[in-house]
Amino acid sequence: MISMKIFDIEGKPGAKVFEYIDMFEYPHGTKEQLPICIIQGIEDGPTFLLSGNIHGDELHGLVTLQEIIQELDANKLKGTVIIVPTLNPAGLLTLTRSPFYIGKTDPNRLWPDPKPKKKPKLKYDDAYDEILDEENYPNVQEVFYSKFAEIFEHVDYYIDLHCHAIRSFPFSYLDRVYYDEEKEGEKEKAEQLFEKTSSFVKAFGLTIILENAPKIYFKENLHRSTTGSFVNKYRKPGFTVELGASGIVDANIIAAAKQGVFNVLKWAKMIEGEVKPITGITVIKDELWREIDIRSPKSGFFIPLVKIGRIIDQNTPIIEIRDVFGNVKETIISPAYGILLAVWDDIRCYTNRLIGTYLVKNTVDVVIPWEYEKKEEKKEETS
């Protein structure tokens, strides 16, 4: 069989190869490096990419991947598993979401952009426009990620592991699939990709939550996240897993995440065995959820009134805003049948502050044309 080669690193059939890839040069001349492990089976099969810790303070993915590396037997594997325990080595050392050398820029919004771009010719085009356009000068992280993303061409499945909030339960984010509606057959292909990705996410075994609907998805650049780019640019199944709190390691969460990874490797027929349900943490099945924000209408102290992860009816009191003496200033009620997914760390809040998120049933299409905005405008014109 042919050995898997990434950058200049070659996999070895039946072995685990541990290496480091040069990312960029620091001002003092040393190099930032990305650790990578290639586990190649002895028989042919799909290529799987697993990564974690792109947000440097999110540790559950890193530890899950360490354990997968140790436990996966290359001699019982069909295909190749590429594992990147941290996509953000500097952020890991400082336990910060972003690496210090890019300020507060979110590293998980720097992956190749799948959205087709139309640059209109402007009346006041200026000779210096290109020099002044920040987009022409990507930071070192983006330059490296673009280079790293070249391996996406050779990868069949991708899972990126994250953490969400202290008071949240683990779940998987499923991206909507976008397509070019002017090309024949693209919608059908997009539907097939969504179906395949859905069954991949289901096999993992956690609660499934759809990424934001298009307007906010693009506004927040989520199409340039690791798996947003993988699904919508490279047109292959990938998803993001959110594993509870950042900054700590919880054994139940690691066990659940590991079970999920072994489940998908079984689903892809890369290792022997049956997919097993995840136990020891909350899993809510049989529904495609979407996440909506909960904001505080007043300043005060916010206290949850219901258990995170339990299904509740519409109009159930879910969070109380208290004054400093404990008098209730406001009671936030559930907007619909659903689940309190997360309440942010802290108890202090100011008017309009985001204090948590809530899950409702999805009602937005899961396969959507790129030009969804134009369509809506047209509809308005004709109505």
Residues that bind Zn ion (CB under 5 A): 55, 58, 162
**Shortest reach from residue 221's CB to Zn ion, in Å:** 14
CA of 68: how far to CAs of 71, 144, 174, 278, in Å? 5, 25, 23, 16
**Shortest reach from residue 378's CB to Zn ion, in Å:** 37
**Shortest reach from residue 197's CB to Zn ion, in Å:** 19
Q: Which is nearer to Zn ion, 40 or 357 (CB)?
A: 357
Q: Which is nearer to Zn ion, 162 or 223 (CB)?
A: 162
How many other CB atoms are there within 10 angstroms of residue 194's CB atom?
21
What separation, in Å, do the N-terminal and C-terminal C-alpha atoms of the chain show?
61
CA of 44: how far to CAs of 37, 84, 234, in Å? 18, 21, 22
Compute the distance between CA of residue 48 and CA of residue 158 in angstroms, rounded to an integer. Answer: 6
Q: Which is nearer to Zn ion, 55 or 224 (CB)?
A: 55
Q: Which is nearer to Zn ion, 61 or 79 (CB)?
A: 61
Q: Which is nearer to Zn ion, 210 or 318 (CB)?
A: 210
Question: If you count them, how many residues does the chain have?
Answer: 383
Compute the distance between CA of residue 241 and CA of residue 171 in angstroms, rounded to an integer. Answer: 6
Q: Which residue is nearest to Zn ion (CB)?
A: 162
**Shortest reach from residue 167's CB to Zn ion, in Å:** 16
Whether the Cβ atoms of residue 39 and residue 80 lie closer than 8 Å to each other: yes
Compute the distance between CA of residue 242 and CA of residue 164 in angstroms, rounded to an integer. Answer: 5
**Shortest reach from residue 162's CB to Zn ion, in Å:** 3
**Shortest reach from residue 61's CB to Zn ion, in Å:** 8
**Shortest reach from residue 55's CB to Zn ion, in Å:** 4
CA 14-61-362 angle, to 5 degrees, is: 115
Give alpha helix (H) positions in 72-219.
Answer: 89-94, 129-132, 140-148, 186-204, 214-219
Q: Which is nearer to Zn ion, 56 or 304 (CB)?
A: 56
Q: Return the DSSP state at 287.
A: -
Q: Which is nearer to Zn ion, 81 or 222 (CB)?
A: 222
